[in-house]
Amino acid sequence: MIRLFIRDDLAAGRGVVLDEAQSRYLAAVMRLSVGDALLVFNGRDGEWRASVTSLGKRAVTLAVGEPSRPQAGGPDLELVVALVKRARLETIVEKAAELGAARVRLVVTERTNADHTRVDRLQAIATEAAEQTGRLDVPEILPPAKIDRLVGEWPQGRRLLFCDEAGDARPVLEALRGEPAGPWAVLIGPEGGFSPAERARLRELPFAIPASLGPRILRADTAAISALTLWQAALGDWRT
């Protein structure tokens, strides 16, 4: 069944007018008709059954019916990733949403090979992935920040899995063994890796856990998928 993320509050009997893009998707792409059913969620009120009540050229109206699932949160997991080329970054955001990341923070490092990105497009990709995977929230995509500023303002209590491909770090599962399952972030560097100065600073941070992703050099998208998968298996909601 089609699932849509909407920003309106959800309650039984409430009417919802979709924006033009979502209306076009339902009417022109999916070719729904009045009375057809779908699922809607907003990240706050759980998932609800809804039905199409009117179809217009620029607006589709829904009637919210009964709840289908109560709101539930996933693990408090962030992906912190250096800007890379557009196609790979879009893949990273899509897979981070599928793998349960709550947020994606974009960072600029000394060796970052891209200097800008369209956060709105990345947010749309994350939203579509959330709709397709059945999760009840949408990961937030945060605009790029320099890595020095990011770690300098790091929130207390959040651990950082630093994927260090240039040194003698322990394998991820070994590094995570015995660690708590509270707030975490996974840090993935640029295609050229972290500079020696960045790497030295990251390894000195009291909240950082350096870890290796194996004997082969991985591209940023592969590294992000691998690290999120391993974290979920070790400390995330894959265990339940």
For 211-235, write each residue's pLDDT tens digit: 999 999 899 999 999 999 999 999 9
Q: Are residues 21 and 53 in the same domain?
A: yes
Is residue 148 scored above 90 in pLDDT?
yes
Q: To which residue do tokens 């209590």 refer?
A: 157
Q: What is the pLDDT of residue 31?
A: 93
- What b/e string do you get for 41-60 counting C-beta neighbours within 10 Å, with b at 16 or more? bbbebbbbbbebeebeeeeb
Range of the domain at 192: 77-239
Looking at 52, 69, 86, the residue that finishes a domain is: 69
56 band by pLDDT with thresholds 50, 70 and 90: confident
- Report the number of distinct structural domains present in the chain: 2
Q: Are residues 57 and 108 in the same domain?
A: no
138 φ, ψ (degrees, to nearest 5):
-125, 130
116 band by pLDDT with thresholds 50, 70 and 90: confident
Looking at 43, 69, 95, the residue that finishes a domain is: 69
Q: Are residues 63 and 107 in the same domain?
A: no
Q: Are residues 103 and 40 in the same domain?
A: no
pTM score, two decimals?
0.93
- Rounded to an integer, what distance in angstroms lies between the CA atom of residue 140 and that of residue 99? 14
